[in-house]
Each structure stands twice: as C-alpha cells, then as structure tokens.
Structure 1
Amino acid sequence: MTTFRDSGARSAADAVGARRPAVIVITDLVVLAKHLRLLDAAEQRALRPLFVFGPETPGDALAAHRSDPEHPLSRLADEDVLHVADTSLDTLLRGVAPWLRDRPVRAVLNVGEVFVEAAGALAETLGLPGPGTHAARVCRNKLLQRLAAPALAPRWMLLDPARAAAVRDWDAFPAVLKPAGRMSSSGVRAVAGPDAVPPLLAGYGPDELLLLEERITGREFSVETLVRDGAVLWAGITAKDTNESGTSFFTETGHTSPAPHLTPAQERLLLDANAAFLRAVRFCTGMSHAEFRLTPGDRVVLMEAAARPPGDAITRLWRLATGMDLDAALLDLALGTRPPTAPPRRRARQVYLDHPRGLLADVTAEDVPVHWVSERGRWPDLPPVAEDAPPRVHTVMVSRHRGDLLGDQSDSQGRSVSVVLDGPLDADLDAVAHDAVRDVTIHAVHPSPAEPSEPSEEALR
C-alpha cells in the first residue's frame, strides 16, 4: 500500500499538468462509487483531481477499476492516486506532502466519514474552505455533540465498559446503548432494562466511549445542509424508516426526500434545530448531515450529526427531487464559491429490502435495471426527470457481492438490496414502492460444506 510518492523527472507535458490547479479528494472506494461525477465537475472547472483512498478500499478492487477503460477512475494517472494504510492526520500529511510541494492545491474535499477530522485539519491549515477542525471533531463523536448542543440532546449517561455497575444509576428505561465514535448504526442497541446492558458490553472495545441514552419515540429525519462561511445556503429534510420495530436494532431501511407529512411548523422546528446545531459547533463550509427525532409532542432531539455528505442514496434522492448536482455543489463549496440551489419539485425515495438468509447468488427485477454497485465500483447516474413525469422506479441497487452471507440487518453493512424511485410531490410513493419491492427477487443459496448449494426456495419478493 502506497503512502507517498516523490516527484521524479517529468516530461514537459507532465510539468504543465503539475501546474494545473488541483483538488484533493479524500475518500474510500465504496463512497466514491456514488460521487464519481466529481471527476467531471473537476474537469469542467479546469482542476486536476488528486485522490486519496483509505484503508477500507481493497487494493485489488481499486486496481481493477483503474484498469477498466469504462470506469471513470481509469482516467487518472498513477501519480494522481494515493492509497494509505490508515486515516490518521500524520499518514495523510505524509501522503499529500509531495502534492502540496509540487502542485497548486485549490481545494480539499472529503466525501467519507473516516477522514472527516484529518481532512478538516488539512483544509483549515492550508487556509482552504472546509467545515473547520472543531466542527469536524465534534461531528465524529456523539458525546461531544451532546455537550456542544445540550438543548437538543436526549438524556444521557457516559458508560465505561469496565463499570457495568453504573447502569444501576440509570432510571430511564427503555434506553439505547450506543458507541460514541462509530457510524452506520454499528453497535447501537435498544435495551429494555438494566439487566440487558451487561451482556452487550463485551461487544465493544475496551477503550470505546459508550452512551446510555433515553429512547426517543417519534419519527426520524435527517437534515442535509449546504453551508458557506457559516451561512446556510440550502437545507432539505429527509424522512427515514428503520427496522427498530420488533428488533433491538436501528438500521435505516428507507429515505424519502423531501420528507412527506410534515406541517410547516414541524419543518421549521427541524430546520431551526439543525441551524442551532451548526452554530453550536461553528460549522464553516461544506455539506452537513444531521439526524433528529421529532416526538409526538414536537420536541426535536438530535441523534447524531456528520460533517460530510449523507450516506446511502440521499444525495441521489435530492438530485432527483431538485435537479441540483450535489457533487458539483460540494466541489464549489470546497473552492469557496456559491453553488446554485433549487427547491424540491419532485419526491424521491430509497427502500431497502428484507432478504433471505444464505449466500447471495443473484438479484432479479421486472422491467428495472439491476446495478451491482459494489462489484462495479460505481452507481448508476440517475438523472432527474421532468417535474410532471409519472412516478418511476429508476434502479435496483445491490450493495453486496455475490457469495456474501446475508443475515441480520443489524447495521448499514448488513443490508443488501434497495430500490430508488421518484414521482411528483403529490404522488402516492407508498404504492409505487410496494410494487417495486414486490417485483424484486433476491436469490440466496444455503451454505453447505459438504456439497454445492442450490438456489433457495425462500428467495424473497
């Protein structure tokens, strides 16, 4: 795994290319797969994109996509790609130092979670736009978020895994146990009473900060925001579905942008809470993603926040809903320029499917293309359609590989297949989504060490 590249002898053409203003994009392959429009956006702005890939990117997959002439990453020169072994600031600095020495870097853009802090520090040190080191640090730690915005926080207690007896001091059950520094709902568990907590503690690292929090009832939303120099340029509310009913998990199973069934007053409560949090953490420039619960009494409670673009297909949903190219907007913000914004004119939804247990063999759908986004290393483009176009299912996306073992959807990594659809703002997307899910079949085989397995008859529709 390469951690840095020294500049060597260059041809005249290489020297001209080296003087071309550059943007450093910091990411991992699974995240970049849905932000590949950044390459086009950089080229349209006469920028040379330089990519840093983190440790979650398999080296063989990166090499395969870069050698595929149909993949956008094949357009990158070897000296414009860096693959680092960890996400620390020191490792990032060692890697990018030759670029900073030899090339005029005009922007630093992070599009994943694990590099938020290091990228934020790098951008601020270079005097380039970014969320800021303080906002980046707070948005990587749920405990700091509770401390930064106490008026938005649920009731909480810090729990040391070595001090399970402290649970006896907590009197607000049912509750939620969550690690302060993880992402993708990893390690978040519902607990009914004090006796349910100690058996779970072995599943966390000895140095992890754990939060025991009151369980907030009510609908869940996220607010996506484009911010420039602390001013909110655009904000949108996304409704969320989870699998928390009947399980101890809180995995997101659907997103709808813009969120339906909110009164203007409820929308204002969510937008005001989001703005208050951004002020509290001194968020400067970039895209933020904050998740809230709205209780039946219209209390807004912060669940967690991120100083980066949202996960899953949410940026795609907002593109379908508004027509905005959010990848171009991300780059504009990183360059310090104001991106164009637009209100929603349609509503878009992503729905994750239940799946059978077993080894993933195939996914089929009726009259809708199936994209194996993890295997191909790229997402479908999903361009917006006319405002009055009828509801449409755009794609079925498979986020796992053939042969992966399908089991509990205990966090985001456990999901496998989703559909993306949109329609006019007044369309019945529930009916469209129901039909779309019905028309998808996930084929699984039962793993057997003795003999090859045949496709399972319990494949879900």
Structure 2
Amino acid sequence: MKPDAFVLTGSFLVICRAPLYLQELSRRGLTILVVTPSVWREQALVQTADPDHPASAITEVAFVDGDVNTENSFTAGVISSVRDWRERYAIRGVYAVGETLVEPTGLLADALGLPSPGLRATRACRSKYLQRWYLPEFSPASTVVPPARRQSFDADAVRYPVVVKPTGRHSSSGVETVADAAELRAQFGSYLPHETVLVEEKVAGQEFSVESLVQDGRLFFASVTRKETTESGTRCFVELAHSVPNDIEGVDDVILDANRRMLEALAFRNGIAHAEWRVAASGRPYLMEVAARTPGDGLSILYLLATGVPLEPAIVRIALGEPADYPAPRRYARQVYLEHEPGLLADVTVDWPGIVPQWVGEGGLWPEIEPGAPEDPPALRAVLVTKDPGDLLGPLHSSDDRAVSFLIDAPTAAELDELELRVRQAVRVHTLSPAEPAGARM
C-alpha cells in the first residue's frame, strides 16, 4: 500500500518560516513532500538533514528550475517531479504556501482531484493582467503592454499619473508611479525584455487587504486588514504596516461585499485568498491584486494574535477536504516595518523590558509567538531583524528592502495606536556609511 502524502510547494524559505504546516501534517502521520525552486537546494539539503530544524519533517524535496519573472517557467519541472511521486505515494492534498508555484500547484490538484482554488483562480491569481481581464468590475482603467508592444506604445496618449506594474512579480517589485511620458518610457526600459507590463490609472485612497477562507465555494471567513505604504513620499508601494482587523469605520461592508463577488467571479473553490484593495474618495473599492496562497510578511502571526487561533491548521483541513472553520478577531494586532537610514546595518537596539531583537536574517526561522487572552494588556510580542549585520540597507523600493519590524497587539484599537508610538521610540536601527569604521556607532 502506498503511504499517504501531502505536497507543499513554494519558496523553501516561506515553507520553513511557517512551520505549523509541517507540524500539522506530521501530526496527521502524512509523508511531507516539498517542491521548491532550485535556488533553495543548498539550504534545503542542510536544513532537512538537521534533526533540530522543522524541515527535518520533510521526507523528499524536488528542486525545479525556472524564473519567477517568467510565466509558466516552473510548470514542467513541477509536473515531472510529482508524476514520480504519484507512482510511489497516495497524495491526499497539495498546497502552495508561497507565490512562486501557485499556478502549477493548481494543475496538480486538478489532475489529482484534490481541493484547490481551481484552475481559473490559480492562473489568474498569478497574473495581474488576467485579473484585469476576469475582473473588470473591480479594476482601475488599464492597458496591457506585451514585450513586443513596448516600443510602439503611445506614451503621450496616457493620462498621468499612472502606476506601472510587471505582471508576474510579487513583493511590490517593479511597481512604480510615473508622472509623464518620459518617465514611462524610462520605466519600460527597466523591465526584463520578456516581461508583460500593466499601465493603469493611479487610484488614490486607503489601502486594505482581505484574507478569506473558502471551502467548496463557500466563503466562511473574511477579515479586512488596514495597510500603510511608502507611496505618500516615494514612487513605490512598499508596505510599512498591517493592522488586523481594520480599525477604520464605515468601509468593511463595502470591501467585504466586493471581495465576495470577486472570489465568485474567479470561481474560487478551496483555500485562502489574500486580496489587496484601495477605496477611493467616492467609496468605490478597486482591486489592486489577489493571491491564492498564505498572506506574506507577518500576517499569519497577526491573525494568531488577533483571534488566538493559527490559520495553518484550517488551511490544511481545507486542502484535505475536511470541515474547516475559523474564529473572528478578538484583539487588535499590528506589524510595523521601520524605515531606516541607508547604509551598512550595524545594530538594532530595543529599550523594552523582556524584549531583545530577534536576528532572523533573510532565511532564518521566526520565533514562536503565543497569543494573549482577549483582555490582556497591550503587548510588544517581538522585534524582528530580517537582514544580517553588515548588510547594505538602501532605499525602500520593494518589500525585500525592509530590515526591521515589530509585532504588537492590544484589546482596543486606541490602545494599539498608543503602544505603537511607544515602541517606535524604543527601537533604533543603527547604520554606518560604507566608509565608516565598524563600531563607530555601537
């Protein structure tokens, strides 16, 4: 008899950073199989061989070649790897933890008859221009510019300002505001020759996200997250704060209704969706983009702090076709990313009782965080440093450029705001100019 197995796909870093998936699958006695891009080979081989690392729970890892900026480049490798596993294992579930392999994971689930968001959803959620195609009701005015049309595109006919987006990237990479035709032509030149680009109207308004859990087409949980970005002071859209749940009154019903109709239009069947919305001054919600995977940054931890219950077990139950539920938030939680002076990262200091910075680097494990009771006092849970000492910190052009964040929660939104102000005063990011001697500011 073939052993029962479960396939996780995505960046090996993201899979390990969410060890509850591995713990939940191990608890069920399922063989854990992982498909990840080949760039993670060295790290994966070391960590799966370490009995003290969560990755040691993984039985097999398949490494696939491809380019995250090239559509469908990983698909053949994923199918080839899992065809071999299908002969040796009874695959009971598949799930894309991170963005990179969402689309081929949808193909796996479809062929194996397993729960997934569905072919339309997994394809469209990896392509910004397909989201505009399937979801015109929720989309800003936009033009799709394939690579061959860049040279002939009439930049003078555009109403500025506009936002320019490479359609296959993530983490806000390459997304910028441009003010005129000259800037647009220069921005086109910054993209890879094969990348398709969206040129779309810039929507002014507060940004939100919605995290949704869907089973058999039934939306059984949805919550609005308030977001803050760098856009007010730069051309980019790097996220600087997430607040769970949203604490701005009067917008949840409008956003949640649009989000429900958006998922229906995508025929989203099973899994978690992370959709980013803007609400214009008119009150109209605009979809910025939607993903069919676990939300990034520390949003999963924020939901743990807000509800007292982790997201990952519910997602595993959906992927296995088991009845799933999830509670509403009972506290307010926030992750704040600190801006920094460009330079070499020298130190991070925290003036807070019982809290020291957690240096997790770009590939390390995040600390386990326990949620508080609903009426517990406001708390600073962790300060995370996602770069290494000596790394060069530059301007914030994408999410990958951020270095330090903190996680807080409180019984009320007002107490959370007050706590954020105090923590901002307590955390310092120390940088050196490249020519400055080490230890000069230590």
TM-score, reference length from structure 1: 0.89
Distance of aligned partners of 1:232 and 1:206 in 2 relative to their CA distance in 1, 3 Å threshold: same
Amino acid of the residue matched to residue 435 of structure 1?
R
**Cα deviations by residue, 1:418-455 (Å, 9 ceiling, x for unpaired):** 0011111344222211221222222333324xxx8324
In 1, Cα distance between equivalents of 2:81 and 2:75: 10
Deviation at 1:281, TM superposition (A): 1.1
Maintained 8 Å contact 1:184/1:411 = yes
Deviation at 1:375, TM superposition (A): 5.5
Q: Does 1:166 align with 2:150?
A: no
Distance of aligned partners of 1:164 and 1:393 in 2 relative to their CA distance in 1, 3 Å threshold: farther
Q: Does 1:83 align with 2:63?
A: yes
- 2:100 maps to 114
- 1:23 maps to 6
- 2:238 maps to 251
Q: Does 1:261 align with 2:253?
A: no
Deviation at 1:19, TM superposition (A): 3.6
**Cα deviations by residue, 1:116-167 (Å, 9 ceiling, x for unpaired):** 1100111111000001121111111111111111111101122356336511
Aligned with residue 56 of structure 2, among 74, 95, 114: 74
Aligned with residue 286 of structure 2, among 291, 294, 301: 301
In 2, Cα distance between equivalents of 1:238 and 1:115: 25
- 1:13 maps to none
Aligned with residue 61 of structure 1, among 18, 39, 43: 43
In 2, Cα distance between equivalents of 1:82 and 1:437: 42
Amino acid of the residue matched to residue 25 of structure 2?
A
Amino acid of the residue matched to residue 430 of structure 2?
H
Q: CA RMSD in A?
A: 1.9
**Cα deviations by residue, 1:254-278 (Å, 9 ceiling, x for unpaired):** 1001010122xx2111011111111
Aligned with residue 371 of structure 1, among 342, 354, 358: 358
- 1:314 maps to 299
1:94-105 aligned within 5 A: 94-105=80-91
**Cα deviations by residue, 1:343-389 (Å, 9 ceiling, x for unpaired):** 11001100001112222233232332322233663111212110000
- 2:78 maps to 92
TM-score, reference length from structure 2: 0.93
**Cα deviations by residue, 1:221-247 (Å, 9 ceiling, x for unpaired):** 000000111110100110000001121
- 1:278 maps to 263
- 1:447 maps to 434
Amino acid of the residue matched to residue 121 of structure 2?
A
- 1:242 maps to 229
In 1, Cα distance between equivalents of 2:146 and 2:30: 47
Q: Per the alignment, in what secondary structure is the counterpart of residue 296 of structure 1? A: coil
- 1:221 maps to 208
Aligned with residue 412 of structure 1, among 383, 396, 399: 399
Maintained 8 Å contact 2:220/2:325 = no
Q: Per the alignment, in what secondary structure is the counterpart of residue 114 of structure 1? A: coil
Amino acid of the residue matched to residue 157 of structure 2?
D
Q: Per the alignment, in what secondary structure is the counterpart of residue 203 of structure 1? A: coil
Aligned with residue 384 of structure 1, among 368, 371, 375: 371
* Count, aligned residues: 432
**Cα deviations by residue, 1:86-132 (Å, 9 ceiling, x for unpaired):** 36221012222232111111001110101011001111110000011
The more displaced of 185-194 and 413-422 is: 185-194
In 2, Cα distance between equivalents of 1:115 and 1:245: 32
Q: Per the alignment, in what secondary structure is the counterpart of residue 281 of structure 2? A: coil
**Cα deviations by residue, 1:58-82 (Å, 9 ceiling, x for unpaired):** x3332333344331113434xx222
Consecutive unaligned residues of structure 1, counting only runs of 5 or more, are 1-17
Maintained 8 Å contact 2:74/2:104 = yes
Amino acid of the residue matched to residue 348 of structure 1?
A
**Cα deviations by residue, 1:171-214 (Å, 9 ceiling, x for unpaired):** 2x221111122111111111122232112111112222111111
Maintained 8 Å contact 1:33/1:379 = no
Amino acid of the residue matched to residue 205 of structure 2?
G
Maintained 8 Å contact 1:33/1:373 = no
Maintained 8 Å contact 1:446/1:454 = no
Amino acid of the residue matched to residue 65 of structure 1?
Q
Q: Per the alignment, in what secondary structure is the counterpart of residue 17 of structure 2? A: coil
Distance of aligned partners of 1:281 and 1:240 in 2 relative to their CA distance in 1, 3 Å threshold: same
- 2:309 maps to 324
Distance of aligned partners of 1:65 and 1:446 in 2 relative to their CA distance in 1, 3 Å threshold: farther
Amino acid of the residue matched to residue 437 of structure 2?
S
Maintained 8 Å contact 1:391/1:427 = no
Identical positions, percent: 38
